[in-house]
Amino acid sequence: MFEAKQLQKHALECLRLQADCMQLAGVARGLDVQSHFVSMARFWGILAASGPSSDASLKLSKAEMQTE
């Protein structure tokens, strides 16, 4: 029961950060800043879906570094 509650809390925190990043992308003036916030929103969304103990964050970080 405790683990399920922690997983839900983690997912909600990630989704909140995803929403914050999308909102910031919408008001950012530069395309590079918009792109950064959209990629961060994608990161938080995937992390929310995959869970805190997955290696999704490592994979996403490596992918982001290769595209920059």
Query: Do 14 and 48 form a contact (C-beta atoms < 8 A)?
Result: yes
Higher pLDDT residue, 22 or 56? 22
d(CA 17, CA 48): 10
Q: Say what the pTM is.
A: 0.77
* Residue 12 reports pLDDT greater than 70: yes
The pLDDT of residue 55 is 72
Lowest pLDDT segment from 5-9, 27-31, 57-61: 57-61
Give CA–CA dist 34/54, Å, rounded: 27
Residue from 22, 54, 58 nearest 40 by CA: 22
Give how many domains the chain has, as a whole number: 1
Please check the confidence at residue 41 and state whether its pLDDT lies above 90. yes
User: Domain residues for 23?
Assistant: 2-67
Q: Residue 58: its pLDDT value, please?
A: 66
Cβ-in-10-Å burial (0-12, 13-18, 19+) of 21 comes to buried
Quick one: tokens of 12? 């909600």
Percent of the chain with pLDDT over 90: 63
